[in-house]
């Protein structure tokens, strides 16, 4: 299975999980020339920019361990692009979903990083 296919499956699992939690999926894999956002989801009056981290196994640590200060900065940069492109003026959050294993199970969700 290619890394692109794995990423798409992990993002689909995260989107399905968020939908079950009452979020409305706005975009999956939103990209520009300079940045990308795995999932953009809305709940109430807020929009969440969701980083999806997949790990087949946790021997190298949790997927969430890889959301470093630099990654948060990149997420904020991408969120600013989306906000400008969509003329969004409501509340926003940076969020993360960890997906793990061969069955692509959501193992963690952080609604506000």
Q: For 42-91, what is each residue's pLDDT tens digit? A: 999 999 999 999 988 665 667 788 899 999 999 999 999 999 999 999 99
Domain boundaries, the chain: 3-110
DSSP code of residue 99: E
- Assigned CATH topology for domain 3-110: Trna Endonuclease; Chain: A, domain 1 (3.40.1350)
Cα dist. 95→5, 27, 45, 111 in Å? 22, 14, 15, 5
Tens digits of per-residue pLDDT, 29-46? 999 999 999 999 999 999
């Amino acid at each position: 299975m290619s890394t692109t296919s794995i990423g798409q499956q992990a993002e689909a699992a995260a989107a399905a999980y968020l939908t079950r939690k009452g979020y409305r999926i706005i975009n999956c894999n939103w990209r520009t020339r300079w940045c990308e956002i795995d999932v953009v989801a809305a709940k109430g009056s807020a929009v969440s920019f969701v980083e999806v981290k997949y790990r087949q196994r946790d021997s190298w640590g949790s997927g969430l361990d890889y959301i470093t200060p630099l990654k948060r900065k990149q997420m904020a940069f991408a969120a600013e692009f989306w906000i400008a492109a969509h003329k969004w003026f409501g509340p926003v959050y940076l969020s993360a979903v960890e997906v793990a294993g061969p069955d692509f199970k959501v193992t963690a969700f952080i609604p506000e990083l």
